[in-house]
Amino acid sequence: SEKVKTLLSNARFGRLSCQSDPYSTLLRDSEHVKEDVLNEQIPMKNAYETQLVQLEELIIQQRKQVQTLKIALDNTEKRFILLAEELEKERKEKDRLQTYQSQLLLAQEEKFQLRNE
């Protein structure tokens, strides 16, 4: 009865005497490994595809951000040019007013000197 239990157990787990050949054991095990590898590859493929989709979405998002930043930079550059022109106008006006003020002071000094003479 013990031998029968051992034979049934060996038959159940694929360890019959005819399976004691290393080559046949290797073939049997390789079938299990193939199934395991195939079952593992499907989720890995899905993970890679998901990562690829996420990467593509990130690239699209960053391109949009670059465009937004380019527009903001162009607007800032235009405002800078306008401010520089305005400052230049103010500087010229200040120089003109200083020149006019100097001329007025000279004219007043001449009048004062003429009165004193």
Task: Kindly give the confidence (pLDDT) of every residue in the chain, 117 residues in length, as a single tens digit, with 9 standing for 90 and above.
Answer: 777 777 677 766 655 555 566 777 777 777 766 666 666 666 666 777 888 889 999 999 999 999 999 999 999 999 999 999 999 999 999 999 999 999 999 999 999 988 887
* Residues shown for the chain: 117
Q: Using CA atoms, how far apart are residues 79 and 98, in angstroms rounded to an integer? A: 28
Please give the pLDDT value at position 102: 94
Q: Is the four-CA dihedral 104, 105, 110, 112 of positive or negative sign?
A: positive
The pLDDT value given to residue 4: 75
Task: Give the residue carrying structure tokens 């800032």.
Answer: 76
Calpha distance 44→49 (Å, rounded)? 9
